[in-house]
Amino acid sequence: MRRECALASEGRVQAMKNAVPKNDKKRRKQLADEVAQTEAELEARHERERLALAGEHSESQAATVGSVLDALASVELTSVAENAGTTETQLRVSKAQKRRDKKAASEREREARIVAAELNELTHGARHLEGRRVADLLAARGLHARPVPPDGHCMYAAVRHQLEARAGPALSVAELRTRAASYIRQHRDEFAPFLTQAGTGEAYTDEEFDKYCDEVEKTAAWGGQLELRALSHALETPLEVVQASAPTITIGDEYHVPPITLIYMRHAYGLGEHYDSVEPIPVGGGAEGGGEDGESGR
């Protein structure tokens, strides 16, 4: 629209120039003034239009720049948010890894302490000291340990081994248990006073006494001093028990035959007390059965 108006004004100026009569100087001067005024107005209009166009362009350019800046800000904010999310994820992963590393280090330290404790027990603990003491006691008598399995039958198995070694009666563990239980049943008054309930200390009832005898005979119940006494009388043979923490004890010394020698170990195994057998040290040999520490095999 502005361009059409400008073209119309320019056409009007040209028409005015063409209409000036050549011979009429007065009219010619008047038209020249009108043409000059019209051209001045036209020039002023052109300037105003140019300035208006420049302003619109600046506004448009400013709007474009603003849009670009907004877009850049959005991109930067998105990038910062993404980076923050990545950093947070990395932080979580790092903390989790640190926890795992700390747990693994604690586990390694715990295992190291266990190994150190076991090593100390083997070299300086009660088991080691007990084994050395028993080995010395046996060596003084020309004997060493002969291990038997720690399965609840160890006392009876050690007696059986001794009987076989001296060409005595070939009795199995089950037969030895039966003989011990039978002797206890037949001599109730002799054994009953020593059988009491662990919690109350009260004497066994008849039912409890019978149950005890059945366990001696038919289960893998661990044997102790009462069962050793019953076996000694049933076999009519003295039984001597070598131990590290007390003098050697002899049960059934009224029988005048070579005793059966057993080893009593309090600390050999984590399960508790244990009995081993013995055998002579071979001529020119060492204490093969129990080794340097006199430790028994399971």
* Pairwise CA distance, residues 282 & 266, whole Å: 27
Please give the mean pLDDT across all residues of the chain: 78
Q: Indicate the DSSP class of residue 22.
A: S
**Residues 135-150, buried b or exposed e (16+ Cβ, 10 A)?**
bebbeeeebbbbbbeb
One of 233, 274, 276, 293 is an active-site residue; which one?
A: 274
The pLDDT value recorded for residue 198 is 85
* Pairwise CA distance, residues 107 & 112, whole Å: 9
One of 128, 144, 153, 154 is an active-site residue; which one?
A: 154
Please check whether residue 148 is in contact with residue 262, taking contact to mean a CB–CB distance below 8 angstroms: no
165-188 pLDDT, tens per residue?
A: 887 678 999 999 999 999 999 999
Active site residue 151: yes
One of 151, 210, 214, 253 is an active-site residue; which one?
A: 151
Active site residue 274: yes
202-255 pLDDT, tens per residue?
A: 999 999 999 999 999 999 999 999 999 999 999 999 999 999 889 999 999 999
19-64 pLDDT, tens per residue?
A: 556 666 666 666 666 667 776 676 767 666 666 665 555 555 555 5
Active site residue 70: no
